[in-house]
Amino acid sequence: MRIATWNVNSIRTRFGRVVDWLVREDVDVLAMQEIKCRPDQFPVEAFAQAGYELEIHGLNQWNGVAFASRHEMSDVARGFAGMPGFGKPIAGQEAVQGVDAAGLPLEARALGVTVGDLRLWSLYVPNGRALGDPHLDYKLRWLEALREDAAGWLEADPELPLALMGDWNIAPLDADMGDPSFAVGRSTHVSPEERAALAAFAPLVEDVVRPIVPEGYTFWDYKAGRFPKDQGMRIDFIMGSRAFADAVTGAAIARAERTGDAPSDHVPVVCDIDPSLLGGTFEDEYDRPMVF
């Protein structure tokens, strides 16, 4: 079973490329970020024709997360319980996009689904924008709230095959920073605070791709020829719980998706799961014949 995450940078611009890749690579479940549209604007037909169902969480032209899956999805969660909002309290926003406990509007940055035994989240972690910007504080609070909720999920079920996957907007190691416009002490994505926020997930989930793909970036800025110079960043991760990580049999970073016509600035990050290693009752109907 193949699972992937991809910041697509507008699904309306990219859907042909995305569906082609899903079919070509035989992907079962894709977590998308930055779809940049509402559900009524999402190109669902292109996915349906390729055999994929969708769960979509998009509020407006910003952010937006979704899942495409060949398998049934259930227990859909739009946002997590402790997720903070951002911006100014706006009267009437409760009905439009929901608000947090402080009355701040929630953004479309987290979508959870269950596929078989797997609990999967598509996450678009706030960018942070700049050191000292209130958006960076939002980023850190958002991550801490996610960590607290994820700790609760795993406390309730330590054997839960959980994957937190998406665009984390943090380069955890110096080897993950190849873009010279990012530097410790000068920019977001590499600050000690952000790296500590990601490292705090260590007791819960681990990067399941790095042990198999030790090198390579997942994002290259469109500006300044960052891709041809290979000045990218590794900021997209599949973070798996113990039970999830134990079932991983392979992984890849689809670097070729940054080439050709109209690429996203991010590429897909992929892992393969052997359902028989999950120890549960998941049946992959694409691997096993249906018995009637």
Partner DNA sequence: ATGCCCTCCGGAGGAGGA
- Residues at the interface with DNA (CB under 7 A): 7, 9-10, 12-13, 34, 36-37, 41, 61-63, 126-127, 129-130, 135, 167, 169, 181, 188-189, 219, 221-224, 233, 235, 262, 265-266
* Minimum CB–partner distance for residue 31 and DNA (Å): 14
- Cβ proximity of 169 and 34 under 8 Å: no
In the complex, least distance from residue 205 CB atom to DNA, rounded to whole angstroms = 21
Residue 278: name the closest of 250, 248, 252, 251 by CA: 248
Q: How far is the CB of 9 from DNA (least distance, A)?
A: 5
Q: Do residues 182 and 171 touch, judged by C-beta distance below 8 A?
A: yes
In 3D, which of 53, 89, 66, 51 has the Cα closest to residue 11?
66
Residue 241 structure tokens: 């719980």
CB of 5 to DNA, least distance (A): 12
Q: Which residue, 85 or 116, has its beta carbon nearer to DNA? A: 85
DSSP string covering 255-277, please? GGGGSSSS--SB--EEEEE-GGG
Query: 28 or 107: whose CB is closer to DNA?
Result: 107
Cβ closer to DNA: 177 or 278?
177
Whose Cβ is closer to DNA: residue 70's or residue 226's? Answer: 226
Listing from the earlier edge strand, what are the strands of the sheet with 110-115? 74-78, 110-115, 118-124, 162-167, 236-240, 206-207
Q: How far is the CB of 208 from DNA (least distance, A)?
A: 21
State the greatest distance between any 2 C-alpha atoms of the chain, in Å, as a whole number: 62
Q: What SS3 state is found at 140? A: helix
CB atoms within 10 A of CB 200: 14
The letter for the amino acid at 54 is L
Q: Do the beta carbons of residue 159 and residue 279 sit within 8 Å?
A: yes
d(CA 82, CA 79): 9
The distance of closest approach from Cβ of residue 267 to DNA in the complex, given in angstroms and rounded to an integer, is: 12
Q: Would you say 135 or 242 has its CB closer to DNA?
A: 135
Our CB check for DNA shows the closer of 231 and 241 to be 231
- Rank residues 105 and 240 by Cβ distance to DNA and give the closer one: 105
- Environment class of 10 (CB within 10 Å of its CB; exposed 0-12, middle 13-18, buried 19+): middle
Smallest gap from residue 234 Cβ to DNA (A) = 10
Q: Smallest gap, in angstroms, from Cβ of residue 226 to DNA?
A: 8
Taking alpha carbons only, the member of 179, 261, 187 closest to residue 226 is 179
